[in-house]
Each structure stands twice: as C-alpha cells, then as structure tokens.
Amino acid sequence: GQQVMQIPQYQHVQEGEDFTTYCNSSTTLSNIQWYKQRPGGHPVFLIQLVKSGEVKKQKRLTFQFGEAKKNSSLHITATQTTDVGTYFCAGNYGQNFVFGPGTRLSVLP
C-alpha cells in the first residue's frame, strides 16, 4: 500500500536557526500538501504542490516537490517561536490523502 514517511520525527532548534523536514513516498504522488498543527490544535493547510520539481515560497517557508514526485521538503529559514508545532505532509494518490507521521518542531528562545 501507499506509505508516506517523514524525517526527522523530532527537531529541536535554537530560535534563528533553519529547519528542514523531508517527506518520502513509496510510490509516485499526484500531488502533495503540507499542514501545520500547533500543540492541542488542528491541522491547518499550508500549501499544495502539483508539478514535478515545483518550488513555492511563503515568507520564510520554502516548499519543494521532487522531480520524480516521490519526495518533498519544507524548509523554514530563521525559525521563530511561532513556528512551533508538528508539520505533516500528505500525499495524494487519487481518492484520498495519506498523511505522514509528522515532524515535531521545538524552537528554543
């Protein structure tokens, strides 16, 4: 079956440092979405990537979709304490999305 993996599982950074989380699929994806979930909160949509090799930016966040459409990354430049939370990728295989286990980011002030 389809599997989506994410690494690392946890990441602790000092405020101001950069952060990257990687998402890998066992099979080719139609597209991929990224969500952020604050502690005790619900997932909030960040972005969707559709095209092979696509790169999108949202302020300090950069999202990439691999050429083979089997992997993706989220990079945060100069983290802030407001970036704390769990970042999930969700791979679309047609009828549903398969969520990765998430990367939990802690930012130390």
Partner 1 sequence: NAGVMQNPRHLVRRRGQEARLRCSPMKGHSHVYWYRQLPEEGLKFMVYLQKENIIDESGMPKERFSAEFPKEGPSILRIQQVVRGDSAAYFCASSSQGMPYEQYFGPGTRLTVT
Indicate the SS3 state at residue 27. coil
Shortest reach from residue 61's CB to partner 1, in Å: 16
Stretch that binds partner 1, among 17-25, 51-59, 67-75, 97-105 (CB under 8 A): 97-105
Q: What is the 3-state secondary structure (H, E, C) of 50-94?
A: CCCCCEEEECCEEEEECCCCCEEEEEECCCCHHHCEEEEEEEECC
Q: Cα(68)–Cα(32) distance, rounded to whole angstroms? A: 12
Stretch that binds partner 1, among 11-19, 54-62, 76-84, 92-100 (CB under 8 A): 92-100
Shortest reach from residue 8's CB to partner 1, in Å: 14
Q: Cα(18)–Cα(80) distance, rounded to whole angstroms? A: 10
C-beta of 12 vs 16, nearer to partner 1: 12
x/- track of binding to partner 1 for residues 39-78 (CB under 8 A): --xxxxx--x------------------------------
The HSE-up count of residue 17 (CA atoms within 13 Å, CB side) is: 13
Residues that bind partner 1 (CB under 8 A): 30-31, 33, 35, 41-45, 48, 88, 90, 92, 94-102, 104
